[in-house]
């Protein structure tokens, strides 16, 4: 496995593979890989001949008061884990390589990014869609792999691909969880021991919501209040949002029907965690 830092080199490395018809899979990451990322790499390795894992902490998706500088980084560790999982290349460009001087071009999906995480993190998704478009242009993958943990992100990217006629299949893979149910995330490393223990309430509240729906509850407000009540039993928890929305357009639901996304964003101390579940009624 090779670590590539230049865009022109990355393109050159893939020319011969593309010419002989080999399939290319891309796993976009910000690095500090965990088992969630590795599950995406393994899936990509099963379905493609070449797997490129991008490791790039993208500054344009961080707000001014967010954790860009503190975001965990360890490319040497990432390279070892990615190779074991089946990666062919790591693409690890510098910020200057991706955003040269006088850079001023961005890609934006509008309505889908105004809700949920987009409401509390303005500009975040513009950064995501811009960097993902750049990666698609550089790598030209046949398939790109994303985790369901970032459910809104996957929906936004799928919309972008449809709208811009980008020639790539988006593959969304299941959330990978710790033993206590917490969704794996690089930001989990920020949590204190007490915060980490309390964060398990997120998955428990989603399981409770699913049970309520399975037993026939269809009123979104009733389920929302039940989730909020359970999360608020944890003194370290501060709710950003609890939302029951249509999976297809992220619009809030009053009465549940069809494909539903139950999404949460909650802070434990200074660390903002997200989680979700998809349910069909």
Q: Catalytic residue numbers?
A: 37
- Alpha-carbon distances, residue 155 vs 92, 162, 174, 188, 249 (angstroms): 25, 11, 14, 23, 8
Which residue is it, tokens 């991706």? Answer: 98
CA distance 62 to 58: 8
Greatest alpha-carbon pair distance for the chain in Å reads 58
Which residue is it, tokens 């399975």? Answer: 214
CA distance 97 to 107: 18
Bridge-based pairing of strands 143-147 and 24-29 is: parallel
Alpha carbon 68 to its chain centroid, in Å, reads 16
């Amino acid at each position: 496995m090779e670590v590539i830092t230049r865009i022109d080199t990355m393109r050159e490395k893939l020319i011969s593979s593309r010419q002989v018809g080999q399939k290319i899979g891309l796993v976009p990451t910000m690095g500090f890989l965990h088992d969630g990322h590795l599950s995406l790499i393994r899936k990509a390795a099963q379905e493609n001949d070449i797997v490129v894992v991008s490791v790039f902490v993208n500054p344009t998706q961080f707000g001014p008061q967010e954790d860009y500088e503190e975001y965990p980084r360890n490319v040497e560790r990432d390279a070892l884990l990615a190779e074991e999982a089946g990666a062919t290349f790591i693409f690890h460009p510098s910020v200057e390589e991706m955003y040269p001087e006088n850079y001023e071009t961005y890609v934006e999906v509008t309505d889908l990014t105004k809700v949920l995480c987009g409401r509390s993190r303005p500009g975040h998704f513009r950064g995501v869609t811009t960097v993902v478009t750049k990666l698609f242009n550089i790598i030209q993958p046949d398939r790109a792999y994303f985790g369901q943990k970032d459910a809104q992100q996957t929906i936004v990217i799928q919309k972008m691909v449809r709208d811009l006629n980008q020639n790539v299949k988006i593959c969304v893979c299941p959330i990978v969880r710790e033993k206590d149910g917490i969704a794996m995330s690089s930001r989990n490393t920020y949590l204190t021991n007490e915060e980490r223990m309390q964060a398990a309430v997120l998955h428990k509240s989603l399981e409770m919501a699913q049970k309520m729906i399975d037993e026939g509850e269809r009123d979104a407000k009733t389920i929302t209040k039940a989730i909020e009540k359970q999360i608020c039993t944890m003194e370290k928890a501060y709710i950003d949002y609890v939302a029951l929305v249509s999976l297809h357009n992220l619009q809030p639901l009053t009465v549940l029907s069809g494909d539903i996304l139950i999404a949460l964003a909650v802070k434990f101390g200074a660390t903002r965690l997200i989680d979700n579940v998809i349910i069909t009624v």
